[in-house]
Chains A and B, each alone.
Chain A
Amino acid sequence: MAKWGMVIDLEKCVGCQACTIACGMENNRLPGENWQDVIFFTEGTYPSAQLKWFPRPCQHCENPSCMAVCPTGATYKTEDGVVLVDWNKCIGCKYCMVACPYGVRFYTDEKPLIAPDMRKVYPSKDDHSWNPPWKMPDAREDWKHGVGIQPHDVVSKCTFCYHRVSKAPPGTPDLDPQDPKLREFTPACVVTCAPGARFFGDLSNPESNVSRMIGDKRGVRLLDQLGNKPQVYYLTGVGGAVPSNRAIHKKS
């Protein structure tokens, strides 16, 4: 069984946010409900001013804190290493959102970021929280795996595009979107990434490209000291940076 993981080369990432928008399209997210966000930081004054950014999907941890605190077993880890929420079991208690050190979980019934509320503009007549005219094919929806338009009062998150990845031919070491045979099984953010900063593959296969890159290019994991063991690795190269862990004091 594969252990799916992602490698993001920060040296190549140019902060365009195509990953964010492709994910929102593929997974029918609300405005600002960015399962795959890119976080921007600014610091200092020119000529030593910095503008940095950091693409951040769910880290699909080996030891997910969110799973540990879930009272209903709604959050679970699949055999192929993906952390998912079963919307049939989720009660929207948000413990997982508190427990997740990466801030990558989203509650359905937040106030809309931009008015008017898209959920009211495209209302659902059934159990779904809304009904966008561009929603994914009916057959794809899969609440058990947190795929589709979710019901009210649940938590949602990046699924590594489980509806795509889970259909990949068994034993595939890497899901390369430039290979026409594998493209449709590759997560949307990886498919579209124009500078080619994203890679997706089987971390348990030592011959996979992702495994080799983590070795050759000294891949690092976000907040590694917490012991969650993310399955998302970052390559910092020259110019790429993982956010430092120092405290940030904000003046009120």
Chain B
Amino acid sequence: MDLEFLKTAITRRRFLQASAAAGAAGAAGVGFNGLGLRTLSEAQASAAPSGGQTVITKSFCHQCPARCGIDVYTTDGRVHAVFGTLDNPLSMGKLCPKGHYGQYFLYNADRFKGPMKRTNPKKGRTEDPKFVPISWDEALDTVAKRMNDLRAKNESHRFGLIYGRGWGATDVGVLQTLSKLYGSPNIGLGHSSMCSDGSEETKKILDGNHGYNAYDYANTNYMLVFGAGFLESFRPFNGNMQAWGVMRTKPAKTKVTFVDVHLNTSAASSDRAVLIKPGTDGAMALAIAHVLLTEGMWDRDFVGDFVPVTQPADPDAPRLPSYKFETGKTIDPATFNQKWVLGLPEWWNAVLKDCTPEWAEKITTVPAKIIHDVAREFGTTRPAIAIFERGAHAHTNGTYGAMAIHSLNALAGSMFAQGGMAYQLKSPAGKWPVNLDDFMDDYAKSPERKKPRIDMKGTDKWPMVSNMLQEVAKNHNAGAPYKLDSCMFYMTGPIFSGPDCTAWEKMLGEIFVINTSPFPDETSVFSDLILPDHTYLERLQVADTYPFQGYPISMIRTPAVKPIYDTRVFGDMLIDLGKRIKGSTGEYYKQLGNTENIIKGIASIFAEKPGDNGVNSYESWKEKGVWYQKPYLYRQIRGEFFEWDKLTQSYSKPMKPEEVKEKLLKTPSGKFEFKSGYLEEEHHVHYLMEKFGLPAEMIAFPQYLPANHAGGGDLHFVSPKLAMQAEGRSGNLPHVTASIQPSQGGKKTVYLEIHPETAAKRGIKDGDRVRIKSTVGSIEVYARLYGGIRPDTVALPMIHGHWGMGRWTKNSGVSGSTNEVTPNVSDAISGQCCYHSAKVFVEKV
């Protein structure tokens, strides 16, 4: 389409209303010349050379969830630079490439300039929405009327709000209040199943912590990585790179083995790159565990050991050998004393005893010798950690395979150890200024509000998941459990990024769509209302840290400039919407006022819990950009757990087993469970037996099950994220497209990596136009012949193929989203969308 609606949006000039409701004022923006009161072009035209003072505002980055603290440089009314904040514990003055995109987003020529409504009732990819500008009052009144009408009909559950990258209290926190007060389980449908839920779920199953790990990289000596783009996309990328610089040049250099399906920069930077058959990582991990046990390389302090053999009383009788793990032979569980683990003998007997490297070679195609070598290195180098993310677990067998990988961390004794891994501690937060419970009316409290979510999370269909966003369009289109009436989108675009994404075009064609993106995107093409958010350099917003080194960190964004256009920060937008809901809901939001009041409430606790950097108030928080308290509070040392002692500045307060269970190993047994009590819960057993065809006695163990590869093709298809990709937002940044590398980038486009032999068989030459086809769709791209990818696999980064995003995405050379050929298949346990499990055909166009 020709994106006609963009022209309307761009040429329209609008003076900002100087109302307080238009967003928070540039609190720290002293010394700039009032840019916010004019349109951008007017401001530029009159910007006299002032030799102006440069103002640095504190904020945090928006390009991934890591939340690096940033210094935003503003001079002469222009934001011209973004650097890492030197005294921020996460960024330490550094940034990844994405961190330097802020100014390009802020001033992007395609930004929405203010609220708009659709005037063309027909919807479709090629239909111009014919947006016309409206006021914020009209926009919010329109949404509120729909919400009030639904509530009057007892149908509030048909109002949905789907969100992607949430930051914390001032956006996700606010939408959660709206869900409760208004009464819709579908306000706040999260995206985590399309992110990396498989990782969090695996950890919950084994060690009871539903979360990502905090890693002590600087002190680790061996790193075994399965399908996590450590130096491209694994978070926090900036922190990972800083750790890499330390790990690779410290006196005892950290050795790294990297397991993936193609040679990327992470694999190429490592000591050993292992290209594994997609969906089989778990088998390799099981074989490593097998070697650790048979060769006696497990950590006895954490895991435990065999009991001594009772020798015959008769001194002349032959001596009995010590107990040990022998390939193919079971052990007597009574002969093994387990310390901080549960179910190791049972796991060995049921699964591991036969999982030799030779067995794994047949499944993974990785030579048994390599698996042996890796196992011996992993088993003899301490501390050692095993990391995995979506490459390993975004498969139908993902959770079981990931359980095998994470089990290596217990066998190596790395849980909560120096150089090992822990979990992120939460930051303290002061109370919100208004108490929500006082405003719940009878409608909100009614048992009728207990309807299933449209994604069927927590129902018999998906009993164990956190979210199931990829099911929403499917369920809506089928009318089961019901159809949505209206849906708001915040920071996500499943119509492009969801598996089998075209299903969303049907859904969005039927319902009232409200998009809050500051930029045009595919959702906008189907939107009825555009309520544009600020870009992040204009926002006042707070967040807790993404898991980093475990100690609590709280971040704050302060606006570097006043909003350039007539936009409104999402949280305030919701509050202003809530004020228009009839009854006590409206009263709640009137009293709440705006997001700044929430932030002030949260910050109030810093008075009694000052940060290490002296932050003790809202004002000092804005000045520093971050509150944190070091160190992480717990550590396992040679099989004993200790809490940090402030007096001695050491991990020296012994912890009782019940404290370990409450705070660290939060499983039913308080141990690391190789035989998972969570999976054995009665309501899970039957579900797992049915889904995986397993006997009841097998469901609790890490194990290898063949993945189900949908799509009908003959080549595995993966859609990785490269170092320069800012999630879904960088497709329209020519500075990004022009510089994207390494093997898949191409100045104007991105290429499909294909092995030379695979290409030759299909008559494909380097640079040829090719079609990728599966049972759900097809797209066209250019091919790049690359000997660094497996012959049975092709890879295409998921950055281009946009059809509604803006002027610089029109000639990207990729005809559609990678998700137009990715079938909608999920892991039955975690609900993880199996982005890397498809099989496709590739043919020359």
A42 to B751, alpha carbons, bound, how many Å?
14
Are A113 and B107 in contact, CB atoms less than 8 angstroms apart? no
Interface-lining segment among A25-33, A83-91, A100-108, A226-234: A25-33
For the complex, is B480 an interface residue (Cβ under 8 Å from A)? no
8 Å CB contact of B788 from A46, A115, A188: A46
Are A14 and B231 in contact, CB atoms less than 8 angstroms apart? yes
8 Å CB contact of A21 from B75, B265, B724: B724
Are B724 and A178 in contact, CB atoms less than 8 angstroms apart? no
Contact string against B for A residues 29-59, beta-carbon threshold 8 Å, 1 for contact and 0 otherwise: 0011010001010111111011111000000
| A24: B residues at CB distance < 8 A | 100, 735, 739
For the complex, is A93 an interface residue (Cβ under 8 Å from B)? no
| B103: A residues at CB distance < 8 A | 25, 133-134
Contact string against A for B residues 232-268, beta-carbon threshold 8 Å, 1 for contact and 0 otherwise: 1000011001101100110000000000000111111
Minimum Cβ distance to chain B for residue A235 (Å):
10
Are B84 and A192 in contact, CB atoms less than 8 angstroms apart? yes
Are B107 and A31 in contact, CB atoms less than 8 angstroms apart? no
For the complex, is A204 an interface residue (Cβ under 8 Å from B)? no
Are B738 and A116 in contact, CB atoms less than 8 angstroms apart? no
The B96-110 residues at the A interface (CB cut-off 8 A) are 96-101, 103-104, 106-107, 109
- Specify which of B49, B238, B249, B737 lies most central, judged by the most chain A CB atoms within 10 Å of its CB: B249
A180 to B88, alpha carbons, bound, how many Å?
13
CB-nearest residue of chain B to A51: B268
A28 to B100, alpha carbons, bound, how many Å?
12
Are B739 and A134 in contact, CB atoms less than 8 angstroms apart? no
Are B245 and A12 in contact, CB atoms less than 8 angstroms apart? yes
| A215: B residues at CB distance < 8 A | none
Minimum Cβ distance to chain A for residue B32 (Å):
12
A47 to B274, alpha carbons, bound, how many Å?
8
Tally of contacts, chain A with chain B, CB under 8 A: 211
8 Å CB contact of A178 from B86, B104, B231: B86
Are B742 and A18 in contact, CB atoms less than 8 angstroms apart? no
Are B263 and A138 in contact, CB atoms less than 8 angstroms apart? no
| A44: B residues at CB distance < 8 A | 787
Interface-lining segment among B50-58, B199-207, B349-357, B775-783: B50-58
Are B734 and A118 in contact, CB atoms less than 8 angstroms apart? yes
CB-nearest residue of chain B to A33: B738
Minimum Cβ distance to chain B for residue A197 (Å):
7
Query: Given the known A-B contacts A17-B741, A116-B808, are A134 and B265 also in contact in the complex, defined by CB atoms under 8 Å?
Result: no
| B263: A residues at CB distance < 8 A | 46, 49, 51
| A98: B residues at CB distance < 8 A | none
Query: Given the known A-B contacts A11-B249, A46-B788, A134-B107, are A21 and B244 also in contact in the complex, defined by CB atoms under 8 Å?
Result: no
For the complex, is B807 an interface residue (Cβ under 8 Å from A)? yes
Are A16 and B231 in contact, CB atoms less than 8 angstroms apart? yes
Are A114 and B788 in contact, CB atoms less than 8 angstroms apart? no
For the complex, is B78 an interface residue (Cβ under 8 Å from A)? yes
8 Å CB contact of B723 from A15, A136, A139: A15
Query: Given the known A-B contacts A31-B735, A114-B734, are A192 and B742 also in contact in the complex, defined by CB atoms under 8 Å?
Result: no
For the complex, is B435 an interface residue (Cβ under 8 Å from A)? no
For the complex, is A243 an interface residue (Cβ under 8 Å from B)? no
Contact string against A for B residues 803-832, beta-carbon threshold 8 Å, 1 for contact and 0 otherwise: 000011011000000000000000000000
Minimum Cβ distance to chain A for residue B34 (Å):
16
For the complex, is A8 an interface residue (Cβ under 8 Å from B)? no
The B767-791 residues at the A interface (CB cut-off 8 A) are 786-790
A136 to B811, alpha carbons, bound, how many Å?
29
Contact string against A for B residues 74-105, beta-carbon threshold 8 Å, 1 for contact and 0 otherwise: 01101111111010000011111111110110
For the complex, is A191 an interface residue (Cβ under 8 Å from B)? yes
For the complex, is A194 an interface residue (Cβ under 8 Å from B)? yes
Contact string against A for B residues 31-68, beta-carbon threshold 8 Å, 1 for contact and 0 otherwise: 00000000010001101011110100000000000000
CB-nearest residue of chain A to B784: A42
8 Å CB contact of A18 from B44, B96, B248: B96
| A18: B residues at CB distance < 8 A | 94-97, 99-100
Are A21 and B86 in contact, CB atoms less than 8 angstroms apart? no
Minimum Cβ distance to chain A for residue B598 (Å):
31
Contact string against B for A residues 49-81, beta-carbon threshold 8 Å, 1 for contact and 0 otherwise: 111110000000000000000000000000000
Query: Given the known A-B contacts A17-B739, A49-B263, are A115 and B811 also in contact in the complex, defined by CB atoms under 8 Å?
Result: yes
Are A14 and B739 in contact, CB atoms less than 8 angstroms apart? no
For the complex, is A193 an interface residue (Cβ under 8 Å from B)? yes
Query: Given the known A-B contacts A46-B263, A115-B811, A135-B78, are A32 and B738 also in contact in the complex, defined by CB atoms under 8 Å?
Result: yes
A46 to B787, alpha carbons, bound, how many Å?
6
Are A194 and B95 in contact, CB atoms less than 8 angstroms apart? yes
| A131: B residues at CB distance < 8 A | 44
For the complex, is B339 an interface residue (Cβ under 8 Å from A)? no
Are B52 and A139 in contact, CB atoms less than 8 angstroms apart? yes
A240 to B429, alpha carbons, bound, how many Å?
46
For the complex, is A137 an interface residue (Cβ under 8 Å from B)? yes
For the complex, is B269 an interface residue (Cβ under 8 Å from A)? yes
CB-nearest residue of chain A to B748: A114
Query: Given the known A-B contacts A17-B97, A183-B86, are A137 and B739 also in contact in the complex, defined by CB atoms under 8 Å?
Result: no
| A196: B residues at CB distance < 8 A | 242, 245
For the complex, is A132 an interface residue (Cβ under 8 Å from B)? yes
For the complex, is B329 an interface residue (Cβ under 8 Å from A)? no
For the complex, is A177 an interface residue (Cβ under 8 Å from B)? yes
| A125: B residues at CB distance < 8 A | 45
- Specify which of B44, B232, B742 lies most central, judged by the most chain A CB atoms within 10 Å of its CB: B742
For the complex, is A170 an interface residue (Cβ under 8 Å from B)? no
Are A193 and B94 in contact, CB atoms less than 8 angstroms apart? yes
Are A239 and B269 in contact, CB atoms less than 8 angstroms apart? yes
- Specify which of A46, A53, A116 lies most central, judged by the most chain B CB atoms within 10 Å of its CB: A46
A24 to B98, alpha carbons, bound, how many Å?
12
Are A114 and B787 in contact, CB atoms less than 8 angstroms apart? no
A132 to B807, alpha carbons, bound, how many Å?
16
| B148: A residues at CB distance < 8 A | none
For the complex, is B728 an interface residue (Cβ under 8 Å from A)? no
For the complex, is A22 an interface residue (Cβ under 8 Å from B)? yes
Are B95 and A45 in contact, CB atoms less than 8 angstroms apart? no
| B245: A residues at CB distance < 8 A | 12, 194-197
Are B741 and A139 in contact, CB atoms less than 8 angstroms apart? no
For the complex, is A129 an interface residue (Cβ under 8 Å from B)? no
- Specify which of B80, B267, B811 lies most central, judged by the most chain A CB atoms within 10 Å of its CB: B80
CB-nearest residue of chain A to B49: A138
The B709-747 residues at the A interface (CB cut-off 8 A) are 723-724, 734-735, 737-739, 741-743, 747
Minimum Cβ distance to chain B for residue A222 (Å):
19
Are B808 and A114 in contact, CB atoms less than 8 angstroms apart? yes
Minimum Cβ distance to chain B for residue A93 (Å):
26
For the complex, is B275 an interface residue (Cβ under 8 Å from A)? yes
| A195: B residues at CB distance < 8 A | 241-242, 244-245, 248
| A51: B residues at CB distance < 8 A | 263-265, 267-268, 742-743, 788
For the complex, is B493 an interface residue (Cβ under 8 Å from A)? no
| B275: A residues at CB distance < 8 A | 46-47
A193 to B237, alpha carbons, bound, how many Å?
12
Minimum Cβ distance to chain B for residue A128 (Å):
12
For the complex, is A20 an interface residue (Cβ under 8 Å from B)? yes
Given contacts A46-B790, A191-B93, A192-B100, 13 further A-B contacts (CB under 8 A): A16-B232, A16-B265, A16-B724, A18-B94, A42-B743, A46-B263, A49-B263, A51-B743, A114-B748, A116-B807, A138-B75, A139-B50, A177-B93
Sorted nearest first, the 8 A-B pairs with minimum C-beta distance are: A45-B787, A32-B738, A195-B245, A194-B241, A134-B103, A31-B738, A137-B75, A31-B734
Interface residues of B, Cβ cutoff 8 Å to A: 40, 44-45, 47, 49-52, 54, 75-76, 78-84, 86, 92-101, 103-104, 106-107, 109, 231-232, 237-238, 241-242, 244-245, 248-249, 263-269, 273, 275, 723-724, 734-735, 737-739, 741-743, 747-748, 755-756, 786-790, 807-808, 810-811
Name 6 interchain pairs, CB-CB below 8 A, sorted by A.
A14-B269, A25-B81, A40-B741, A49-B786, A137-B75, A197-B245
Interface residues of A, Cβ cutoff 8 Å to B: 9, 11-12, 14-18, 20-22, 24-26, 28, 31-32, 34, 38, 40, 42-47, 49-53, 113-116, 118, 121-122, 125, 131-139, 177-178, 180, 183, 188, 191-197, 237, 239
